[in-house]
Amino acid sequence: MAGRRGILCAAVILALASGAPALAQSDAVNVYTYREPGLIQPLLDRFTEETGIRTNVLFAADGLIERVAAEGELSPADVIVTVDIGNLANAKELGITQAIAGETLARVPDQYHDPDGQWVALSLRARVFYASVDRVTETALTYEDIAGPEWKGRLCTRSGLHAYNIGLIATRIAHWGVEQTRDWLTGVRDNLNHAPTGADRDQVKAIFDGSCDLAIGNTYYMGLMLTNDAEPEQKEWAASARIIYPDADGDGTQVNLSGAVVAKYAPNKANADKLVAFLLSDEAQHLYASGNYEFPVVESVEPSELVASWGVLTADTTPMVEIAAHRKEAAALVDETRFDEGPQD
């Protein structure tokens, strides 16, 4: 987080402390991001090459949206790039966003941007099943299926309270309502091999180790593992599993997103608009697809060759704002069912 990438630090503190206008620079745009620098920096570098506009980047794993709210009118943030619909909805609820240009929003399907234009998706990630190559014969499954008795002791996943699983549960509430989703979540809990633990890559390792046969995870982790030359053991984990897109012939596979907002008090508003528009250009969408193994949100752009080899994604079309509206109910169900304690019968 240092050096030529221009990460905001002392300059931000000085601007806030002095009460001076926050980093208004005609040749720069200030980006607060939850996305790891390694994932987003190639896109920002390309943006600078094309426009001459420098990008000052502040990365943090959490707390950036709350930070912008606390900074108020003195915030140096121009654009906030984040993962998960919950973060985008939270930014809007806190009143730290402003409308994105209509021509930019028009690049993506309606369900992938805020009806009021306060946020827009940049890429999609699907919540799928990792299936053991050796021990799972099924080629098509639904989310409902994994609560069935045939999967007793064969499932694994990360915490139900993680944003990725909350999004999945919230989508089931949108389709089924709270009561049916509670029953389903209870069945999934009791089919787990062990209490939820680790992250999505750990679930693939559990398949490799034989601890479980089917796991819930995001597609792009499979791409990251299959191409991980620095940790070749992850290639072995990934080779032990294949991807099944749940509900491919029904409601469609649940997707979440990465997205962006233009900050309410952006000191470099024109540059912020240019950056968001660039991130939704065909060029940037191809970079997302090839570098991060995510799905482009612009429909005319194809996924990478590796992602395409896993099959065709039929995405659930439930509007993201509806999924966001059910997140509190989803978290309450995780607590009520004691999902993170694992099997209870």
CATH 3.40.190.10 domain residues, the chain: 3-123+256-302, 124-253+310-341
DSSP state, residue 306: H
Q: Is 23 exposed, middle or buried (0-12, 13-18, 19+ CB in 10 A)?
A: buried
pLDDT given for residue 192 in this prediction: 98
* C-alpha–C-alpha distance, residues 264 and 164, integer Å: 27
Instruction: Enter the tokens of residue 35.
Output: 């996305």
- pLDDT tens digits, the chain, 345 residues: what are they? 333 334 344 334 333 333 333 457 779 999 999 887 777 889 999 999 999 999 999 998 889 999 999 999 999 999 999 989 999 999 999 999 999 999 999 999 999 999 999 999 999 999 999 999 999 999 999 999 999 999 999 999 999 999 999 999 999 999 999 999 999 999 999 999 999 999 999 999 999 999 999 999 999 999 999 999 999 999 999 999 999 999 999 999 999 999 999 999 999 999 999 999 999 999 999 998 888 899 999 999 999 999 999 999 999 999 999 999 999 999 999 999 999 999 997
pLDDT at position 40, please?
A: 86
- Dump strand ranges (E) for the chain: 28-33, 54-59, 79-83, 97-98, 120-132, 155-156, 214-218, 241-244, 255-263, 295-296
Q: Report the topology of domain 3-123+256-302.
A: D-Maltodextrin-Binding Protein; domain 2 (3.40.190)
CA distance linking residue 29 with residue 23, whole number of Å:
9
For residues 258 and 123, the answer to whether their CB atoms sit within 8 Å is yes
The pLDDT of residue 23 is: 57
Among 189, 211, 152, CA closest to 335? 189
* CB under 8 A, 24+ apart: contacts of 13-19: 15/74, 15/76, 16/71, 16/74, 16/76, 19/74
Any idea what DSSP says for residue 178?
A: H
The arrangement of secondary structure in 124-253+310-341, i.e. its CATH architecture, is: 3-Layer(aba) Sandwich (3.40)
Quick check: helix, strand or coil at residue 185? helix
